[in-house]
Each structure stands twice: as structure tokens, then as C-alpha cells.
Structure 1
């Protein structure tokens, strides 16, 4: 690994600080922007701390196996790259470097439609990697069909649909945004004449004409029926929506609140995960992003039913530090931390990570309130966790 990667950084938090010193002011604000009031952004991280581990001791954990299968693909560990836009703001090689970093760690990357490079180039940059493609909902289904076919030909293993953005941010913008770097969107504009540079009002109006706001379950069904690839829905926060998705035959339920950038005031993803896992009932794989910063966070999410977690901002911090090698370093930190957390929890392999390893802090609060008869004010209290 290059000496330009920060050898003294031993945590994602330290890598974030180092990246902040290297990013431009615009990129720093763009990546870290917490949404309206930042409540959900902050709670994503804080919520993990409300779950406590109950380690099992005296187990043989001298050798740990962190590998997992996700939609049939074997990953070396259950941490992958979430779809995020405009990696060029963090590094000149943009998504090409991110894909290489993920592939070097034998994990997967979800390529955003808002990427600077065409989906084919990203797949070619990391031919041994596992790639998923996040596709927008478009008014013209012919456009969606062409993108689905391109993703299949390029070797992508799944289609991801973000369902928690009923109205695109470009629909609400009233002033142009001046980007420090000119970015292209080749997975959005196909053979179209691009109506002005990205960030301009002309560009936003053009997006409004082609992107479909207010997509419905019928759109999901159409996409599922027009691709051979498994479909994953990202942005699920309710058990009801998770159940509808499973009944439609969706392969993956991706619990996400857009990192707090969409609707502020929604729950932290780790808090809604158990309900969604119960609703899915093993009929689809369940994933999570939002607030994952340590290997212990990963362990908690897996114990509560996630098959894999995804990281957004941390991958961009690594990218800003040193391109592909920086992304690799962030992933390596999380992999090492997960392996250590597994050892301390008494888990030698991923399948050893069970719900009994985690308890919500409210359990102890209720225990403290109990009197000897198990009642408070003559009422029996029970934690929902």
C-alpha cells in the first residue's frame, strides 16, 4: 500500500479527519451535508451506541472467517460500497478508483446513476469485482430498458432502485450550483443532447423532463419483469413496505434513510432493522446503511438480521485520501475491526453472529425500574426489544 495512504490512521474516524484536510471546501460540504436539520444524520451514528453486546466466552475464535454470500456472490467480508453521486469531487479517477478499491478487498460496489463514468467503464476498471447498478426511475420505459440491458451485458449482478426519493432534489432547486469540477452523467444522459452543464438550471429542468417523480409499486414490478437480474429496493424503513416488496419477488431489502439527506426526522436505520427482518421472514436478503463507522457497528447490524452493510461517506473519505488505495484502507480497517469484534463476542464465523448477542439499552432501563415483584406502579413493563 502506498505511503500516501495514512498509515497512522487506525479508525474510520481518523480517516475522516485526514480526508477533511485534503478535500476542497465544496467537496467537504457536499459529502458531509447532513440534510435539513441533521437529526437523522446524527441519530444514524448515535443509535448504534444504544445497542449493547452480550459476548459469549470460552469459544474457539483463534481463526475467524468473515466471508459471506450476498445474492450468491461470495464476499470476503459483509461491508460493501453504497451508491453515492459524483465521486469526482473526491478524486480525479472518481468511480473507477472506488471500484478498484472495492475489488481489491473482494467486496461489492453499487454504482450510482449519478456517476462520472459510464457503467461499462467502471465494470472494466475492476473486472474481478462484484458490481450492482443503481438505476433511476424514468418517464420513458424505453430508456430504462436500454439501461437494464447495458447493465446485464456489462456483468452487473443486481439492479438497485432507490425508493425514498419521490421528488428529486433537482426538481426543487431554484438557483444554479457552480461545481468546482465539470462532471458528466453518462448513465443518465444516453444519446440525449445534454441541456447545459451539471448544476445549471437548464440541466435541472432537463432532468425534470426525463426522470419520473413519484414512482410506484407498478414501476418496480415493470423493472423486475424486464430484467434477468435480481432487484434490490433501497430506502425501505417500514415493515409494511418490506412485506409488499417481498410479495412482489424483490430479492433484497436495503434498509436506508439516505444518510439523513432525504427526509429528516425518520428513524435511524439500525432501529427499524429488527422489525423489517421479522416482516421479511427470510424470504429476501436484508441490508443496511447509515451510520456504520466501526467493525462493532457491523457486528451489531449482522446480529439484528442484516446480511451485509453498506458504507457511503467513509468510502468517499478514503477515495479523497488516496484513490483506490484509500478506499481499500477504509474497508481494511472495518474488516480488521469486525474480525476483532467477532473474536471478543465469541464468533468464529458470520453464522455464529446471532440476535442474542445484542440487547437494546432500554432493556437495562426497564430492569432498573422493576421492583422485586417485576412491577412499576402495579404495571408490568416490557421492553419491545
Structure 2
């Protein structure tokens, strides 16, 4: 793990409540998927090119919005548990570094306030809830607030059994007011069990990709894909992007690491849609490996939350800037002046 990330994790653990810390870092089952995530990237070796002009190196890209770096922030819930300003602080940190950010449906600050802190492109993560009208209202609000893409989370028909503590609908330190920040305006009157209404649907299908696109009028990225045939099916059903993810090891345990799934998914979809990846990325070399394998962007979950807890928006900015600088340096040494110069021949497992 990158030294800066290790320091942020240690600082965060000192200031975050123990039950919140467990909620943030635990995985499902025996946590094998969590344990394997980072090591899987380390099994690759780089094959750099020489005699290339790398006097100027850029990490800029355009992916449902212009960014200065392909290293961004994956959707994570309940940032107010980690910092008083919650997602507003995370958003400000991402914006200052020119990094993509995906705002969770379970955000603890109003979408409009988060969007104002970004003042630029961002993506909105969609859970299809049992009460579909609530989901539709959130999608419409996010689009109106400036979201440039929707990220449909497809690997959570229900919450996986989490290790180290009992399964909870939400972490204990969170109040209903915080958890329902963006949903309370859209709840039906006289609801007996609010949490049942906003729980994820278990009957998702490929047709829901089109439904999200129709409601939002925006590109839809399907998150949680680990199989090539699923990736192709999603693209054929209208997905504008595929996100290779195992939900940080928090859903089905013992699934393949994203570093293993990524190459076959990139090969299957070709240039038809961009591919995004998260899971165990902890330094610029992991990011370089993922990008060389065909990912267009690399997203961070827990590291961004460690930074938020440890030092708010400034720490988020510094963390993203450090990893992006490490990526740029590694790009140059690998003989790539820009992200488009990377290709799968530059990495190997042998």
C-alpha cells in the first residue's frame, strides 16, 4: 500500500468511532475478497517502451465529463459518519484535484449542495429501490443538479452478510435524518416502514438500464460486472459504460478480484463502451496496470474515506494529487506520454 494511504488509514482509525470503522472496512463472509483485492494487482509486471518522447506527460481524459486524472472516487454511503461536512467535503476535494466523483444514493448531504461544491461534471450512483418512484425522483434531481452520467449498481439485490458485526440496514451512529437526507422529500405519506421502501430491489433486469436512461436522459454505466458475457449483455441493452467491481468485497465473498476480471471484460466489449474499475487500487502502479489493461478510469472507495476522516477535503485533494502524480511519473517511465499510449502488451503476469 502507498505510504500516504497507510498514514491516512491510521489517522482515520484514531478519530472514527469503532463501530463506524468496522462498517467502513469490513467485508462479507470471511473477507477473502477484501484480502485478495490489492495483491491481485501486484501479480502483474510492467513491460515499458523505450525511446518515446515523454518530455510532457498528461493524465487528462474525457469520460462523461473532462477530468485531469483518471483516478476518482467510487460511490460510498454516509460520509457524514466520517466528517461533519460529509459528501460536500469529499466533493470539494475531488473537484480541486480534477478527479471524477460518483455521489451515492445514500449521501448524507443534499445533492444540490454536493453539486455546488463540485461546480463541474459528476456522476450519480443509482440503487433501484423497492419503491421505484423514489429512485426516479432522485435520478431526476441528480440530472437537474448537473450529473453527467448515472451509475446503476447491479450487484446488490440485497445486502451481503458482513463479517465482524451483525448485518445492519445502516450503521448505528447514523440518524434517520442523515440517512434520509435526499429521500425524505420523495417518501409517500403515512409509511409504516421507510427502510423497507428504500431497500434495494431484488428483481433487477437488463431492461432497467433503459429505464434509468429514459428517466435521466443521461448515459448509464452498469456497476458490479465481473463476467464478460454480462458486460456484453449490458452493452447490448444500452449501457454506455461497464464498471468492473466486486463492491469492495462487501457483497458475495470469494468472487474473483477485479484485476482478474478486467482483461476478459475489456476484450469482450472492445471499443463499444468504456470500462471502469475499482477494487484494491492503492497506488499509482496499480492504476497504471488497470489503465494498461484497458480501463478508462480507476476508482477508489475506502482510501477516499480514510482521507476524508483524517483531514477533510484538503486530505482528499492531497491523496488524489499524490496518486495522480505517481501515475504520471510511472506513465513516463513506461514510455507513455498520455493515457491513450497504454495498451495490454505493456503488462504481463509472466
Q: Does 1:100 align with 2:92?
A: yes
Change (3 A) 1:225 1:33: same
Q: Secondary structure at the match of 2:233?
A: helix
Change (3 A) 1:340 1:180: same
Q: Secondary structure at the match of 1:161?
A: strand
Match of 1:116 among 93, 108, 114: 108
Alignment-derived partner of residue 62 in structure 2: 69
- Is contact 1:107-1:130 (8 Å) kept? no
Matched residue pairs, number?
343
Alignment-derived partner of residue 269 in structure 1: 258
Match of 1:354 among 323, 343, 350: 343
Distance apart, 1:91 and its partner CA? 0.6
User: Which string of whole-angstrom CA distances, capped at 9 and with x for unpartnered residues, describes residues 176-220 of structure 1?
Assistant: 866234233233333327999xxxx95544534xx4223111222
Match of 2:267 among 278, 287, 291: 278
Mapped to 2, the partners of 1:333 and 1:107 lie a distance apart of 12
Match of 2:249 among 257, 260, 272: 260
Distance apart, 1:313 and its partner CA? 0.4
Change (3 A) 1:354 1:178: closer
Mapped to 2, the partners of 1:288 and 1:18 lie a distance apart of 27
Alignment of 1:33-48 (within 5 A): 33-48=26-41
- Is contact 1:195-1:202 (8 Å) kept? no
Q: Secondary structure at the match of 2:29?
A: coil
Alignment-derived partner of residue 4 in structure 1: none
Alignment of 1:220-231 (within 5 A): 220-231=209-220
Deviates more, 1:136-145 or 1:300-309: 136-145
Q: Note the residue ranges of structure 1 that are not aligned, 5 or more in a row.
A: 1-8, 364-385
Alignment-derived partner of residue 345 in structure 1: 334
Match of 2:187 among 183, 187, 192: 192
Distance apart, 1:10 and its partner CA? 5.1
RMSD: 2.3
TM-score normalised to structure 2 length: 0.91
Q: Secondary structure at the match of 1:235?
A: strand
Distance apart, 1:104 and its partner CA? 0.3
Distance apart, 1:55 and its partner CA? 1.6
Deviates more, 1:289-298 or 1:224-233: 224-233
Mapped to 2, the partners of 1:117 and 1:232 lie a distance apart of 23
Mapped to 1, the partners of 2:224 and 2:171 lie a distance apart of 28
User: Which string of whole-angstrom CA distances, capped at 9 and with x for unpartnered residues, describes residues 240-291 of structure 1?
Assistant: 1100111112111000000000000100001111110111111111000000
Match of 2:208 among 191, 209, 219: 219
Q: Does 1:158 align with 2:149?
A: yes
Q: Note the residue ranges of structure 2 that are not aligned, 5 or more in a row.
A: none
Deviates more, 1:303-312 or 1:113-122: 113-122
Mapped to 2, the partners of 1:221 and 1:176 lie a distance apart of 28
Mapped to 2, the partners of 1:220 and 1:293 lie a distance apart of 31
Q: Secondary structure at the match of 1:11?
A: helix
Alignment-derived partner of residue 136 in structure 1: 127
Q: Does 1:22 align with 2:11?
A: no
Mapped to 1, the partners of 2:207 and 2:330 lie a distance apart of 42
Larger radius of gyration: 1
Mapped to 2, the partners of 1:175 and 1:287 lie a distance apart of 29
- Is contact 1:342-1:348 (8 Å) kept? yes
Mapped to 2, the partners of 1:49 and 1:288 lie a distance apart of 15
Q: Secondary structure at the match of 1:253?
A: strand
Q: Does 1:90 align with 2:75?
A: no
Q: Which runs of 4+ in 1 moved over 6 A?
A: 173-178, 193-196
Change (3 A) 1:174 1:131: closer
- Is contact 1:10-1:333 (8 Å) kept? no
Distance apart, 1:174 and its partner CA? 7.4
- Is contact 2:50-2:334 (8 Å) kept? yes
